[in-house]
Chains A and B, each alone.
Chain A
Amino acid sequence: NAGVTQTPKFQVLKTGQSMTLQCAQDMNHEYMSWYRQDPGMGLRLIHYSVGAGITDQGEVPNGYNVSRSTTEDFPLRLLSAAPSQTSVYFCASSYSAGIPRGEQYFGPGTRLTVT
C-alpha cells in the first residue's frame, strides 16, 4: 500500500513551458485535492475532485488544469508556467464517505521552480 505518490519530486521549468504533476493513490479514496504551499501563505487549495469525472476549483485555480478520469489518478497541469507558480505542490486524498473529507493523506510533495 503506497498511499499517495507524487512525481516528480523536483522540477525546474522555464517561463512559458507546460508540464504535468502526477498524483496517484491506491486507497480507493473518492476525494482528491491539490494544494500549493508558499512561505507564510499556508496550504492553498488549487483544485479538488469528489470522484472520477468530477472536478472543481479551489482558492487559486488560475493557470492550472485538472482532470479525474480514474479514481486513482489526479494530475495537475500547468498550462504556461510563470515564476509566480514557483512553489511546493502537495496532492492529498481522503475517503469522503461518512465524515466529510475525513482524514486527508498527503503525498510527499513536488518542489517546482520556474525561472
Chain B
Amino acid sequence: QQPVQSPQAVILREGEDAVINCSSSKALYSVHWYRQKHGEAPVFLMILLKGGEQKGHDKISASFNEKKQQSSLYLTASQLSYSGTYFCGTAPNRDDKIIFGKGTRLHILP
C-alpha cells in the first residue's frame, strides 16, 4: 500500500533538472507532495487529484497519470534551497487516509 518512490537519492549541481517518481499498486484518487529539510518538519508542496492534471508553482511542477497510478515531481533549474527529502503521499479514495512513501533525498551542489 505504501507508494514506491524513485530514485532513492540524487545529487545534482545547481541549475540542473530533477525528476522524482511516485508509483502505486492501487488506483489513486490523490497524490500529495511534501519536502522536508534536515531537522525540520515536512512542508506541503502540492496536491494532485485524479484526472491527469499537472500543477506547478515557481520552478516545481508535478503530473499525475491516473491510468498508470504514477506521479512525477519536476524540479527545473534546481536551486540550493531545493535540497532535502521529498515525500509523496497517496490516497486511493476521496475519504481515505494518506500513506507516504519512503522519500527521495535530493542534494544540490553549488
Contact = CB atoms under 8 A, between A and B. Distances in A.
Secondary structure call for the A interface? loop
A101 B98 contact: yes
B30 A100 contact: yes
A100 B32 CA distance: 11
Contacts of A75: none
B84 interface: no
**Chain B contact patch, size range:** 20 to 34
B10 to A, nearest CB: 16
Given A45-B98, A58-B97, A101 B32 contact: yes
Interface of B: 1-2, 29-30, 32, 34, 40-44, 47, 49, 87, 89, 91, 94-103
7 contacts: A42-B87, A43-B100, A43-B103, A45-B100, A100-B91, A101-B32, A103-B44
Interface of A: 33, 35, 40-45, 48, 56, 58-59, 90, 99-109
Ranked 9 nearest A-B pairs via Cβ: A106-B41, A42-B102, A43-B100, A103-B44, A100-B94, A42-B103, A42-B100, A106-B42, A101-B98
